[in-house]
A = this chain, B = another copy of it.
Amino acid sequence: MATNAPSSPPPRTLTLRDVSEASGVSEMTVSRVLRNRGDVSETTRNKVLQAAKDLGYVPNKIAGALASQRVNLVAVIIPSLSNMVFPEVLTGISEVLDETPLQPVFGVTNYQPEREEKVLYEMLSWRPSGVIIAGLEHSEASKAMLKAAGIPVVEIMDVDGEPIDSMVGISHRRAGREMANAIVEAGYEHIGFLGTKMPLDHRARKRFEGFTEALAKSGLEVEDQEFYSGGSALAKGREMTETILTRSPNLDFLYYSNDMIGAGGLLYCLDKGIAVPQQIGLAGFNGVELLDGLPRQLATMDACRAEVGRAAAHIIAKRVSDPNAQPGERIVLKPQIDFGDTLLRR
């Protein structure tokens, strides 16, 4: 019997040696050609490239990385993909890394510290050149791993706390405060809050803290609250808004922890013929472009998602290309309130 079944893939995967034999030069020369490193004559270069192409050779980065002690991967660790926020961050990261030899690898934690720890461990075991990780809150073990890894680490999306190395993001406390101030200045006095039932979403928590703190300074407080988990955010926003307004009919402003539930609330108010923003004002958080087509534009505050991704990627790229670059960079973005059509001005 010759080999195996007809037109089946070659039994063994190809190595440099195969290309080397096919082109009649040493493995080292093939390696040089394929990596564009060192001087190789035009003639051999072409010979090698042709052979590699004919054979369908794909280099083995595992062996390459082990030999060179260099890995072009950047670990990107985020809490969720369904949130719409994070895909945008990833897009920003990819955009920048595309112009470098670096390649992002994503991991998702579902907002669970144990998952984060596991994902981080898995990723670090591939010895990436850098880590981009959402948030500043991590388990002790995770922090220890990040410190011990000896690679650039950028914590993103939040700047209210001490980073391990670098950080890029906005202050969610400040975002909460500014929205509270805008609401107070606009003259609203009976304020309700609607958010996720997610104790581990530290950024939502910080926004809420900043929000209540700033209200308190004006002698106000959140008069009623409503929380949800799971399900379609738009539908939940409707339900919760109905619930809270039924329970506390005198509320004149609703602050939502994200734009999707805010949009649900907006649709509910419009359905019920509630005058927005006169009778009730509304605001969300994130600046989700997706919602641009709604009948009214929800007041919100941009979380600068793509920009955060780009900045984080730039930091990693710089640190990787220049090992002497200063660590501990801190980039604090300052988003402005977008008043939209649901928050009175002044």
Contact = CB atoms under 8 A, between A and B. Distances in A.
A122 B148 contact: no
B61 A125 contact: yes
B124 A108 contact: no
Contacts of A234: 290-294
A238 interface: yes
B232 A291 contact: yes
A127 B82 CA distance: 29
Listed residue (A103, A238, A293) with the most chain B CB atoms within 10 angstroms of its CB: A293
B235 A264 contact: no
A275 interface: no
A116 to B, nearest CB: 14
B290 A267 contact: no
A311 interface: no
A207 interface: no
A289 B103 contact: no
A173 interface: no
A63 B127 CA distance: 10
B235 A293 contact: yes
Report how many copies the assembly holds. Answer: 2
| Top-9 shortest CB links A-B | A234-B293, A235-B293, A232-B292, A81-B87, A235-B292, A9-B150, A61-B125, A264-B293, A56-B148
Contacts of A60: 125, 127
A322 B232 CA distance: 39
A312 interface: no
A63 to B, nearest CB: 6
A70 to B, nearest CB: 11
Contacts of A90: 81, 108
Given A88-B82, A94-B108, A293-B267, A127 B62 contact: yes
A91 interface: yes
7 contacts: A9-B150, A81-B87, A82-B88, A90-B108, A231-B289, A263-B293, A267-B293
